[in-house]
Amino acid sequence: MRTFSAEEIRDAFAKTHDGYSSDELIVSDLLRNAFLKELGIDPSDPADDDVQTSALHSLFKVRKAGKLKVRATRRSHAEVGPWTDTAEIAIRTVLDRYQVSIDDVMCDPRLRSELQAEAVAIGSDAPADLIRKAVLRLRKVRRLRPELVLRVADWQTRVVTLAFDKIDLDAIPSSPGVYIFRSEEGYLYIGEAENLSTRISQHLGGSHNRGLAKRLSLAESDSHPPLTLELHVFAKDSPGNRAIMRRAYESELIRSREPKYNLRP
């Protein structure tokens, strides 16, 4: 794997950042691609994905070490507010799925693409640059700290997302796990189950939660954003097989994601 010196990174950044910060360069396809090309990397070639990831990680490392020393003179004033909820759901989904850092997602073109795919699944017109910008802003205000249980245990979690109108109960695993109903409105309801298939079937047949039941009944309405079901499926030897651990995970997700129809733990 090719490595980059601080001098190479600094020189390439100085020539291509157009007055913007390193965060803005990472967010912008135009600036990022110019930076990569200056380093001799083809951003459109999948064969260069790993070296691209290395170069962008190096940019973050050089900045964090205080060695970038290239002044930012311009600032983007793009409004990310309307995309904050979409960005939060999309980035959390990718982080949960791969157990990676936000830097990893921003630097790896494959993970960036997956972030955008999750955002588009929530809002089809989600602009990639504003989604990334919103993710970085959420990190700055500490909205994206990892859940406690994910920092202290290996949950061996498989994250599956399903469009509500395409749910096939026979395809939902009968494994233990946590389930999340969400839409572009934000997180709606989070619960845990010993058997995900059985629990989801119960919700679809008439949820015990009045708010969720009403929202599920409106899921087919054109006047309401479409729903998504997100499943966190635990492996057979995962700590999540124990009810006390699933409930701890559920409580932590409710605390950090603030779903509309849950009582706070």
- Of 42-46, 49-53, 125-129, 141-145, least confident by mean pLDDT is 141-145
Q: Is the pLDDT of residue 264 over 90?
A: no
Q: Which residues of 36-66 are buried (b: 16+ CB within 10 A; e: fewer)?
A: bebbebebeeeebeebbbbbbbbbbebbeee
Instruction: Using pLDDT thresholds of 50, 70 and 90, give the confidence band for residue 122.
Output: confident
Distance in angstroms (rounded) separating the CA atoms of residues 21 and 60: 11
Q: What is the pLDDT of residue 107?
A: 97
Domain ranges of the chain: 6-64, 81-140, 154-257
Q: What's the pLDDT tens digit per position in 45-94?
A: 999 999 999 999 999 999 999 999 888 889 888 888 889 888 988 998 89
The CATH fold assigned to 154-257 is GIY-YIG endonuclease (3.40.1440)
Q: What is the pLDDT of residue 174?
A: 93
Residue with tokens 């962008």: 56
Q: What is the pLDDT of residue 148?
A: 59
Q: Which of 12, 51, 114 is nearest to 42 (CA)?
A: 51
Q: Is the pLDDT of residue 153 over 60?
A: no
Q: How many residues does the chain have?
A: 265
| Cβ within 8 Å of residue 8, ≥6 positions away | 39
CB 119 within 8 A of CB 170: no
- Of 9-13, 117-121, 244-248, least confident by mean pLDDT is 244-248
Q: What's the pLDDT tens digit per position in 17-53?
A: 999 999 999 999 999 999 999 999 999 999 999 999 9
Instruction: Using pLDDT thresholds of 50, 70 and 90, give the confidence band for residue 114.
Output: very high
Q: Is the pLDDT of residue 214 over 70?
A: yes
In the chain, where do the E strands start and end?
157-163, 177-183, 186-193, 228-234
**pTM surpassing 0.75?**
no
Mean pLDDT of 246-263: 88
Q: What is the pLDDT of residue 81?
A: 87
Q: Is the pLDDT of residue 155 over 90?
A: no
CB 169 within 8 A of CB 201: yes
**φ, ψ (nearest 5 deg) of residue 169:** -60, -30
CA distances from 136 to 38, 103, 143, 203, 238 (A): 24, 9, 10, 35, 31
CA distances from 37 to 29, 47, 69, 101, 206 (A): 12, 14, 21, 25, 55
